[in-house]
Structure 1
Amino acid sequence: MNSVMMGLEKPRKIEKYVHGDRDFGTVYFMSSRPTYWPVLEIHRDLNFIYYSELESSIQTSLAEETGYMNSFINGDMIKVDIENGIEWLVEKDVLREYKLISPMYGSTNNSFVYKNIEYKIIDLLNVYKALKRYNYKNNDLWMDNFKCNGDIGSIKAVGERGLIRMLGLKYTEIELVRLLSFDIKGDENSTLLNYKPLIRSGSVYYLMSTWNMFLLDEQ
């Protein structure tokens, strides 16, 4: 949604074209930026704001469902459980992010097939939530390392089974983990690297604090 629009228009013939102090005579001009794109940019930005925002009532509902906050209808007392704050952040983030692409993929109960196995979109989102949950829980550790020795770009190598345990997933979900990762030894288009929250080399995954912290929200 935030890509730069590139396209080609039909060349325009321009008589006596002057640029600076030089007269180029007759030239044919073809723009790589369609004239209609500025209008589309406006609609894109407005749609992004609309789809990426969650109503306060929805955020409150998520806070109550995750146990982060309990409100009392007949009073003004609100109980906040900090321990469940991460779960609220995860659910809120994923709901907001999926809202952006839901016009393309529809309900989270819709099915898709990957490696001859049928999954539901919610299955993939649950793996994605596990990644975000891991990031939030380790964010303080990464920041402590940065404060102590400036090391915020550390890389942790871990095997598939170890990663599954770290994320609290089942091994039957390994194909979904692979789907969310970019294999530097594979034959995937290199541009997909910017759209994958995990990087691996075969069955070895590399967890990089800066990549995990800042890339996930851009998916």
Structure 2
Amino acid sequence: MSVGGPDVLFDVNHPRLSNYCAYRQSVQTRLLHILRENPGCRFLEIGVGPILRQEQFKSIDELRIEYVGLDFKHICAKHRIDLAAASIANRNIRFLGNVVGTYLFNLIRLMRHGEAFDIIYLDGNHSIYVDLAAAIAAVRLLKPRGLLLFNDVRFVFGQTELNQKTALADIAKTKELTEDEANEPHVTIIIREYLIPMFSFAVVRSWSDPDWIVLRAPSSAPWLRI
């Protein structure tokens, strides 16, 4: 991270989330802005989610972006149907679903197939027990100067009221954590304690705030795929 500016990961003066639906809409707006700045790019979304975001996929289609989305197999199957119903039949839009477990092995398969991406968006489990491994695997899929995006950066499982749609699932995860673990922001740990020091990622401050972080990969490193 650069020296001299405020630490966007830990800006104590930044307002806490109060309206999660509004926050999710702002995340979608930010993502679309980044995609429109990068027409023709290769974009990997880890954790597509159950709701088809038509505006996003229409933009992907119009901008000729090569897209790969990862999630459970049944979610991916539903999105294929929903895209066809929305008259979006772009051959450059692919989904890879896992039947059990997590998206980790599909990330490994993409790496083994020599795939690389300009933009990777990790909007997954938000637990360090799942997403630390996914983030490390994603690093191997980034192109030089590629972008790695994170939302819900300050989310903690001990405050599930921030996300009403997934509150029940978050409560279940909290039971697997100690109180201290449930009240730490796992995504922040992944970014601050692993990706930045281990891989020399830089925060793109103009596109980031404490709950939405955009990291840029270095221009060269042994782990980068060209």
Report the TM range for the smaller structure's normalisation. Answer: under 0.3
Higher relative contact order at CA 8 Å, sep ≥6: structure 1 or structure 2? 2
Larger radius of gyration: 1
- TM-score normalised per structure 1: 0.25
User: Which structure carries more helix by proportion?
Assistant: 1
- TM-score normalised per structure 2: 0.25
